[in-house]
Amino acid sequence: MVLEFDPAFIQAPEHRPRPAVTEAGSIPLIDLSPLHLLEQHGGPLVAGLEVLVAQVEAACRDWGFFQVINHGVPLAVVERAWAASRGFFALPPEERRRVRRDEVNPLGYYEAENTKNVRDWKEVFDFVVHEPAVIPSPGEAGGGVDRLIELRNQWPQLPHGFREALVEYAQATEELAFKLLELISLTLSLPPKRLHGFFKDQTSFIRLNHYPPCPSPHLALGVGRHKDAGALTILAQDDVGGLDVRRRSDGEWVRVKPIPNSFIINVGDIVQVWSNDKYESAEHRVSVNSERERFSIPLFFNPAHYVMVKPLAELVDEKNPANYEEYNWGEFFKTRKNSNFKKLDVENIQIYHFKKANVGQHPTTSVTARARRTTK
Protein backbone atom coordinates (compact mmCIF):
# COMPACT_ATOMS: atom_id res chain seq x y z
CA MET A 1 0.00 0.00 0.00
CA VAL A 2 1.50 3.33 -1.08
CA LEU A 3 -1.20 5.77 0.10
CA GLU A 4 -1.65 6.59 3.78
CA PHE A 5 -4.47 8.94 4.70
CA ASP A 6 -3.45 12.35 5.99
CA PRO A 7 -4.90 15.90 5.96
CA ALA A 8 -3.54 16.61 2.46
CA PHE A 9 -6.37 14.44 1.05
CA ILE A 10 -9.22 16.19 2.86
CA GLN A 11 -11.58 18.17 0.64
CA ALA A 12 -13.19 21.42 1.79
CA PRO A 13 -16.65 20.68 3.28
CA GLU A 14 -18.52 22.05 0.28
CA HIS A 15 -16.64 19.72 -2.10
CA ARG A 16 -16.85 16.48 -0.15
CA PRO A 17 -18.89 13.71 -1.75
CA ARG A 18 -22.38 13.16 -0.41
CA PRO A 19 -23.42 9.66 0.71
CA ALA A 20 -25.82 9.31 -2.22
CA VAL A 21 -25.19 10.40 -5.80
CA THR A 22 -27.99 9.95 -8.30
CA GLU A 23 -27.71 7.67 -11.32
CA ALA A 24 -31.05 8.92 -12.65
CA GLY A 25 -30.91 10.86 -15.90
CA SER A 26 -27.38 9.69 -16.59
CA ILE A 27 -25.29 10.71 -19.57
CA PRO A 28 -26.42 9.77 -23.12
CA LEU A 29 -25.55 6.36 -24.58
CA ILE A 30 -24.67 6.43 -28.30
CA ASP A 31 -24.27 3.46 -30.65
CA LEU A 32 -21.43 4.08 -33.11
CA SER A 33 -22.23 1.13 -35.39
CA PRO A 34 -23.44 3.44 -38.24
CA LEU A 35 -19.82 4.63 -38.54
CA HIS A 36 -18.58 1.14 -39.26
CA LEU A 37 -21.38 0.45 -41.72
CA LEU A 38 -20.39 3.56 -43.64
CA GLU A 39 -16.74 2.48 -43.65
CA GLN A 40 -17.71 -0.91 -45.06
CA HIS A 41 -20.01 0.38 -47.79
CA GLY A 42 -18.69 3.88 -48.47
CA GLY A 43 -20.92 6.49 -50.01
CA PRO A 44 -22.28 9.89 -48.93
CA LEU A 45 -23.59 10.94 -45.54
CA VAL A 46 -26.40 8.43 -45.12
CA ALA A 47 -29.51 8.87 -43.01
CA GLY A 48 -28.14 6.66 -40.23
CA LEU A 49 -25.07 8.85 -39.88
CA GLU A 50 -27.19 12.00 -39.83
CA VAL A 51 -29.03 10.57 -36.84
CA LEU A 52 -25.71 9.74 -35.18
CA VAL A 53 -24.38 13.26 -35.76
CA ALA A 54 -27.56 14.69 -34.21
CA GLN A 55 -27.12 12.45 -31.16
CA VAL A 56 -23.50 13.54 -30.70
CA GLU A 57 -24.49 17.19 -31.11
CA ALA A 58 -27.19 16.93 -28.44
CA ALA A 59 -24.87 15.09 -26.05
CA CYS A 60 -22.08 17.66 -26.47
CA ARG A 61 -24.51 20.55 -26.09
CA ASP A 62 -26.55 19.26 -23.14
CA TRP A 63 -23.96 17.27 -21.17
CA GLY A 64 -20.44 17.52 -22.58
CA PHE A 65 -20.30 13.78 -21.78
CA PHE A 66 -21.61 10.62 -23.42
CA GLN A 67 -20.96 6.87 -23.53
CA VAL A 68 -20.33 4.94 -26.75
CA ILE A 69 -20.88 1.29 -27.61
CA ASN A 70 -20.00 -0.60 -30.81
CA HIS A 71 -17.01 1.70 -30.99
CA GLY A 72 -14.69 -0.55 -33.01
CA VAL A 73 -11.96 -1.03 -30.40
CA PRO A 74 -11.50 -4.83 -30.09
CA LEU A 75 -12.46 -6.23 -26.69
CA ALA A 76 -9.25 -8.29 -26.59
CA VAL A 77 -7.17 -5.10 -26.92
CA VAL A 78 -9.01 -3.50 -24.00
CA GLU A 79 -8.67 -6.63 -21.86
CA ARG A 80 -4.91 -6.75 -22.44
CA ALA A 81 -4.67 -3.11 -21.35
CA TRP A 82 -6.64 -3.88 -18.18
CA ALA A 83 -4.35 -6.82 -17.41
CA ALA A 84 -1.27 -4.64 -17.91
CA SER A 85 -2.65 -1.93 -15.62
CA ARG A 86 -3.64 -4.33 -12.85
CA GLY A 87 -0.30 -6.10 -13.13
CA PHE A 88 1.66 -2.86 -12.79
CA PHE A 89 -0.20 -1.59 -9.72
CA ALA A 90 0.13 -5.01 -8.10
CA LEU A 91 3.93 -4.67 -8.17
CA PRO A 92 5.74 -3.78 -4.93
CA PRO A 93 5.93 -0.01 -4.33
CA GLU A 94 9.69 0.07 -4.83
CA GLU A 95 9.27 -1.55 -8.25
CA ARG A 96 6.67 1.02 -9.34
CA ARG A 97 8.90 3.86 -8.15
CA ARG A 98 11.65 2.78 -10.53
CA VAL A 99 9.71 4.68 -13.21
CA ARG A 100 8.51 7.54 -10.98
CA ARG A 101 8.00 10.84 -12.76
CA ASP A 102 9.48 14.18 -11.75
CA GLU A 103 9.21 17.85 -12.69
CA VAL A 104 11.51 17.41 -15.68
CA ASN A 105 9.78 14.36 -17.16
CA PRO A 106 6.06 14.17 -16.21
CA LEU A 107 5.74 10.64 -17.63
CA GLY A 108 5.70 7.42 -15.65
CA TYR A 109 4.45 6.54 -12.18
CA TYR A 110 3.18 9.06 -9.60
CA GLU A 111 1.25 8.82 -6.34
CA ALA A 112 1.02 12.42 -5.10
CA GLU A 113 -0.99 14.37 -7.68
CA ASN A 114 -3.10 17.39 -6.75
CA THR A 115 -6.34 18.68 -8.26
CA LYS A 116 -7.17 22.26 -7.30
CA ASN A 117 -4.43 22.09 -4.66
CA VAL A 118 -5.90 19.07 -2.82
CA ARG A 119 -4.18 15.70 -3.05
CA ASP A 120 -6.02 12.98 -5.01
CA TRP A 121 -6.57 9.50 -3.54
CA LYS A 122 -5.00 7.64 -6.46
CA GLU A 123 -1.80 6.51 -8.12
CA VAL A 124 -1.16 6.81 -11.85
CA PHE A 125 1.08 5.82 -14.73
CA ASP A 126 1.29 8.19 -17.73
CA PHE A 127 2.68 7.63 -21.22
CA VAL A 128 2.45 9.62 -24.45
CA VAL A 129 0.76 8.14 -27.51
CA HIS A 130 3.52 9.31 -29.86
CA GLU A 131 7.07 9.79 -28.70
CA PRO A 132 8.91 11.94 -28.44
CA ALA A 133 6.19 14.39 -27.50
CA VAL A 134 7.43 17.98 -27.66
CA ILE A 135 6.24 20.48 -25.04
CA PRO A 136 7.57 23.75 -23.55
CA SER A 137 10.14 23.34 -20.80
CA PRO A 138 8.45 23.06 -17.39
CA GLY A 139 10.89 25.52 -15.81
CA GLU A 140 9.39 28.77 -14.54
CA ALA A 141 12.22 31.24 -14.89
CA GLY A 142 13.08 32.06 -18.46
CA GLY A 143 10.58 29.41 -19.58
CA GLY A 144 8.51 30.62 -22.47
CA VAL A 145 7.50 28.88 -25.61
CA ASP A 146 10.95 29.07 -27.24
CA ARG A 147 12.42 26.44 -24.87
CA LEU A 148 11.18 22.99 -25.80
CA ILE A 149 11.82 19.54 -24.40
CA GLU A 150 11.16 16.06 -25.75
CA LEU A 151 9.16 13.71 -23.53
CA ARG A 152 9.95 10.02 -23.76
CA ASN A 153 8.07 7.23 -22.06
CA GLN A 154 9.46 5.44 -19.02
CA TRP A 155 8.48 1.80 -19.54
CA PRO A 156 8.86 -0.58 -16.60
CA GLN A 157 10.52 -3.95 -17.06
CA LEU A 158 7.58 -5.60 -15.28
CA PRO A 159 4.94 -6.83 -15.79
CA HIS A 160 5.94 -8.68 -18.95
CA GLY A 161 4.15 -7.47 -22.06
CA PHE A 162 3.18 -4.17 -20.39
CA ARG A 163 4.54 -1.89 -23.11
CA GLU A 164 3.21 -3.98 -26.00
CA ALA A 165 -0.31 -4.15 -24.56
CA LEU A 166 -0.52 -0.41 -23.96
CA VAL A 167 0.96 0.62 -27.31
CA GLU A 168 -1.68 -1.56 -28.96
CA TYR A 169 -4.39 0.06 -26.83
CA ALA A 170 -3.09 3.54 -27.67
CA GLN A 171 -3.26 2.89 -31.40
CA ALA A 172 -6.82 1.57 -31.20
CA THR A 173 -8.18 4.37 -29.02
CA GLU A 174 -6.39 7.06 -31.05
CA GLU A 175 -8.20 5.76 -34.13
CA LEU A 176 -11.49 6.10 -32.25
CA ALA A 177 -10.53 9.63 -31.18
CA PHE A 178 -10.13 10.74 -34.79
CA LYS A 179 -13.53 9.25 -35.67
CA LEU A 180 -15.13 11.15 -32.80
CA LEU A 181 -13.33 14.30 -33.88
CA GLU A 182 -14.89 13.92 -37.34
CA LEU A 183 -18.34 13.54 -35.82
CA ILE A 184 -17.85 16.67 -33.73
CA SER A 185 -16.70 18.55 -36.85
CA LEU A 186 -19.91 17.48 -38.58
CA THR A 187 -21.99 18.72 -35.62
CA LEU A 188 -20.44 22.14 -36.22
CA SER A 189 -21.35 21.99 -39.94
CA LEU A 190 -17.67 21.68 -40.83
CA PRO A 191 -15.89 19.17 -43.12
CA PRO A 192 -15.17 15.90 -41.26
CA LYS A 193 -11.39 16.35 -41.23
CA ARG A 194 -11.44 20.08 -40.44
CA LEU A 195 -9.75 19.58 -37.04
CA HIS A 196 -7.27 16.86 -37.97
CA GLY A 197 -4.42 19.25 -38.77
CA PHE A 198 -4.20 20.40 -35.16
CA PHE A 199 -3.13 16.89 -34.16
CA LYS A 200 0.01 16.61 -36.24
CA ASP A 201 2.78 16.40 -33.62
CA GLN A 202 0.08 15.78 -31.00
CA THR A 203 0.74 15.79 -27.25
CA SER A 204 -1.87 13.14 -26.41
CA PHE A 205 -1.20 10.87 -23.45
CA ILE A 206 -2.81 7.90 -21.73
CA ARG A 207 -3.11 7.48 -17.99
CA LEU A 208 -3.54 4.32 -15.97
CA ASN A 209 -5.50 5.23 -12.82
CA HIS A 210 -5.60 3.11 -9.69
CA TYR A 211 -7.88 4.15 -6.80
CA PRO A 212 -7.17 1.96 -3.75
CA PRO A 213 -9.86 1.47 -1.09
CA CYS A 214 -9.99 4.68 0.96
CA PRO A 215 -10.41 4.63 4.76
CA SER A 216 -12.27 7.98 4.69
CA PRO A 217 -14.21 8.18 1.41
CA HIS A 218 -16.52 10.83 2.88
CA LEU A 219 -13.57 13.24 3.19
CA ALA A 220 -11.47 12.56 0.07
CA LEU A 221 -11.86 12.22 -3.69
CA GLY A 222 -10.02 10.07 -6.19
CA VAL A 223 -9.85 13.15 -8.40
CA GLY A 224 -11.23 16.49 -7.29
CA ARG A 225 -13.71 18.45 -9.38
CA HIS A 226 -12.17 19.68 -12.62
CA LYS A 227 -12.59 20.13 -16.35
CA ASP A 228 -10.29 18.50 -18.88
CA ALA A 229 -7.97 20.94 -20.62
CA GLY A 230 -7.53 19.10 -23.94
CA ALA A 231 -9.81 18.38 -26.88
CA LEU A 232 -11.37 15.00 -26.08
CA THR A 233 -11.08 12.37 -23.37
CA ILE A 234 -11.83 8.69 -24.06
CA LEU A 235 -12.21 6.78 -20.80
CA ALA A 236 -12.44 3.07 -20.07
CA GLN A 237 -13.66 2.32 -16.55
CA ASP A 238 -14.08 -0.94 -14.70
CA ASP A 239 -17.30 -2.17 -13.08
CA VAL A 240 -16.77 -0.47 -9.71
CA GLY A 241 -18.02 2.99 -10.68
CA GLY A 242 -17.10 6.33 -9.17
CA LEU A 243 -17.05 8.85 -12.02
CA ASP A 244 -19.42 11.72 -11.23
CA VAL A 245 -20.49 14.36 -13.78
CA ARG A 246 -22.06 17.67 -12.80
CA ARG A 247 -25.40 17.85 -14.58
CA ARG A 248 -25.74 21.15 -16.38
CA SER A 249 -29.50 21.47 -15.89
CA ASP A 250 -29.45 21.57 -12.08
CA GLY A 251 -25.82 21.36 -10.94
CA GLU A 252 -26.30 17.96 -9.29
CA TRP A 253 -23.62 15.28 -9.38
CA VAL A 254 -24.61 12.23 -11.45
CA ARG A 255 -22.82 8.88 -11.20
CA VAL A 256 -21.88 7.40 -14.58
CA LYS A 257 -23.03 3.79 -14.51
CA PRO A 258 -20.43 1.36 -15.88
CA ILE A 259 -21.52 -0.35 -19.10
CA PRO A 260 -19.46 -3.35 -20.28
CA ASN A 261 -17.29 -2.76 -23.36
CA SER A 262 -18.12 0.94 -23.58
CA PHE A 263 -16.10 4.14 -23.49
CA ILE A 264 -17.01 7.41 -21.80
CA ILE A 265 -16.34 10.48 -23.94
CA ASN A 266 -16.11 14.05 -22.78
CA VAL A 267 -15.34 17.23 -24.67
CA GLY A 268 -12.54 19.28 -23.18
CA ASP A 269 -11.78 22.97 -22.92
CA ILE A 270 -10.29 23.11 -26.42
CA VAL A 271 -13.52 21.95 -28.05
CA GLN A 272 -15.38 24.51 -25.94
CA VAL A 273 -13.16 27.26 -27.34
CA TRP A 274 -13.17 25.92 -30.91
CA SER A 275 -16.98 25.79 -30.84
CA ASN A 276 -17.13 29.33 -29.39
CA ASP A 277 -19.16 28.04 -26.43
CA LYS A 278 -21.67 25.99 -28.42
CA TYR A 279 -20.28 23.12 -26.36
CA GLU A 280 -19.03 23.31 -22.79
CA SER A 281 -16.42 21.22 -21.05
CA ALA A 282 -18.24 19.54 -18.16
CA GLU A 283 -17.03 19.49 -14.58
CA HIS A 284 -16.44 16.00 -13.20
CA ARG A 285 -14.74 14.19 -10.33
CA VAL A 286 -14.01 10.67 -9.06
CA SER A 287 -15.48 9.39 -5.80
CA VAL A 288 -13.82 6.54 -3.91
CA ASN A 289 -15.03 3.82 -1.57
CA SER A 290 -13.68 1.90 1.41
CA GLU A 291 -14.12 -1.63 0.05
CA ARG A 292 -13.08 -2.03 -3.60
CA GLU A 293 -10.15 -0.73 -5.62
CA ARG A 294 -11.06 0.92 -8.92
CA PHE A 295 -9.20 1.17 -12.24
CA SER A 296 -9.71 3.42 -15.25
CA ILE A 297 -7.77 4.26 -18.42
CA PRO A 298 -8.31 7.68 -20.04
CA LEU A 299 -6.82 8.85 -23.32
CA PHE A 300 -6.35 12.62 -23.27
CA PHE A 301 -6.48 13.64 -26.94
CA ASN A 302 -4.42 16.82 -27.25
CA PRO A 303 -3.09 18.89 -30.18
CA ALA A 304 0.50 19.90 -30.95
CA HIS A 305 2.30 22.21 -28.54
CA TYR A 306 2.45 25.00 -31.13
CA VAL A 307 -1.30 25.11 -31.77
CA MET A 308 -2.90 28.45 -30.96
CA VAL A 309 -6.36 27.68 -29.60
CA LYS A 310 -9.15 30.06 -30.58
CA PRO A 311 -12.74 29.93 -31.88
CA LEU A 312 -12.82 28.45 -35.37
CA ALA A 313 -13.02 31.10 -38.10
CA GLU A 314 -16.08 29.47 -39.69
CA LEU A 315 -18.06 29.87 -36.46
CA VAL A 316 -17.54 33.58 -35.83
CA ASP A 317 -18.85 36.67 -37.59
CA GLU A 318 -20.16 40.13 -36.70
CA LYS A 319 -23.29 38.69 -35.10
CA ASN A 320 -21.36 35.92 -33.33
CA PRO A 321 -17.98 37.38 -32.34
CA ALA A 322 -15.21 35.25 -30.84
CA ASN A 323 -15.67 34.73 -27.09
CA TYR A 324 -11.99 33.98 -26.45
CA GLU A 325 -8.55 35.40 -27.01
CA GLU A 326 -6.26 32.82 -28.58
CA TYR A 327 -3.82 30.97 -26.34
CA ASN A 328 -0.90 28.63 -26.87
CA TRP A 329 -1.73 25.00 -26.05
CA GLY A 330 1.84 24.08 -25.05
CA GLU A 331 2.07 26.82 -22.44
CA PHE A 332 -1.42 26.03 -21.15
CA PHE A 333 -0.58 22.32 -20.91
CA LYS A 334 2.72 22.99 -19.17
CA THR A 335 1.09 25.22 -16.55
CA ARG A 336 -1.66 22.71 -15.80
CA LYS A 337 0.91 19.92 -15.47
CA ASN A 338 2.94 22.01 -13.03
CA SER A 339 -0.14 22.61 -10.86
CA ASN A 340 -0.88 18.87 -10.79
CA PHE A 341 2.65 18.13 -9.63
CA LYS A 342 2.81 20.62 -6.78
CA LYS A 343 0.56 22.96 -4.82
CA LEU A 344 0.31 26.54 -6.05
CA ASP A 345 -0.50 29.73 -4.19
CA VAL A 346 -3.08 30.69 -6.82
CA GLU A 347 -5.68 28.95 -8.94
CA ASN A 348 -4.21 27.13 -11.91
CA ILE A 349 -4.84 28.38 -15.45
CA GLN A 350 -8.38 28.04 -16.87
CA ILE A 351 -9.90 28.92 -20.23
CA TYR A 352 -12.08 31.59 -18.66
CA HIS A 353 -8.87 33.59 -18.16
CA PHE A 354 -8.98 34.09 -21.95
CA LYS A 355 -12.60 35.22 -22.16
CA LYS A 356 -12.97 38.44 -24.11
CA ALA A 357 -14.35 41.57 -22.51
CA ASN A 358 -17.67 41.25 -24.33
CA VAL A 359 -18.36 37.98 -22.50
CA GLY A 360 -16.70 38.69 -19.14
CA GLN A 361 -13.00 39.38 -18.62
CA HIS A 362 -10.72 38.05 -15.90
CA PRO A 363 -7.47 39.78 -14.92
CA THR A 364 -4.49 38.81 -17.05
CA THR A 365 -1.76 36.99 -15.15
CA SER A 366 1.83 36.35 -16.13
CA VAL A 367 0.83 32.75 -16.91
CA THR A 368 -1.93 33.78 -19.31
CA ALA A 369 0.38 36.33 -20.88
CA ARG A 370 2.90 33.60 -21.64
CA ALA A 371 0.17 31.35 -23.03
CA ARG A 372 -0.86 34.10 -25.47
CA ARG A 373 2.53 34.05 -27.16
CA THR A 374 2.79 32.33 -30.52
CA THR A 375 4.93 29.23 -30.86
CA LYS A 376 6.36 28.08 -34.17
Q: Residue 167 domain-assigned?
A: yes
Alpha helical stretches, state H, the chain: 33-41, 47-62, 75-89, 93-96, 162-187, 269-274, 329-341, 366-371
For the cut 80, the answer to whether the pLDDT of residue 177 exceeds it is yes
CATH of the domain at 126: 2.60.120.330
pLDDT band at 267 (very low <50, low <70, confident <90, very high): very high
Is residue 361 one of the residues assigned to a domain?
Answer: no
Report the pLDDT value the prediction gives residue 141, as an integer from 0 to 100. Answer: 42
CB 260 within 8 A of CB 158: no
Q: How many domains does the chain have?
A: 1
- Residue 165 confidence (pLDDT) above 60: yes
pTM of structure: 0.91
pLDDT at 48: 64
Domain assignment of residue 155, yes or no: yes
Q: What percent of the chain has pLDDT above 70?
A: 84
Give domain status of residue 366, yes or no. no
Q: How far apart are the first and last CA of the chain?
A: 45
Read off the amino acid at residue 109.
Answer: Y
The pLDDT, as a whole number, for residue 24 is 53
User: Is 370 a member of any domain?
Assistant: no
Spatial neighbors of 178 by CB under 8 A, at least 6 apart, are: 196, 199
Packed helices 162-187 and 75-89: angle between N→C axes, nearest 10 degrees = 130
Residue 57 inside a domain? The answer is yes
- Domain assignment of residue 364, yes or no: no
Kindly give the interhelix angle for 47-62 and 162-187, rounded to the nearest 10 degrees. Answer: 100
Phi, psi of 7 (to 5 degrees): -60, -20
Yes or no: say if 253 and 244 are a contact pair by the CB < 8 Å rule.
yes
With respect to residue 342, please indicate whether it lies within any of the assigned structural domains.
Answer: yes
pLDDT digits (tens, 9 = 90+) for 222-232: 999 999 999 99
Taking alpha carbons only, the member of 268, 356, 368 closest to residue 320 is 356
DSSP 195-247: TGGGGTTB--EEEEEEE---S-TTT--SEEEE---SSEEEEEE-SS--EEEE-
Dmax of the chain from CA atoms? 60
- The residue segments making up the domain with residue 171 are 16-354
Average pLDDT score, the chain: 88
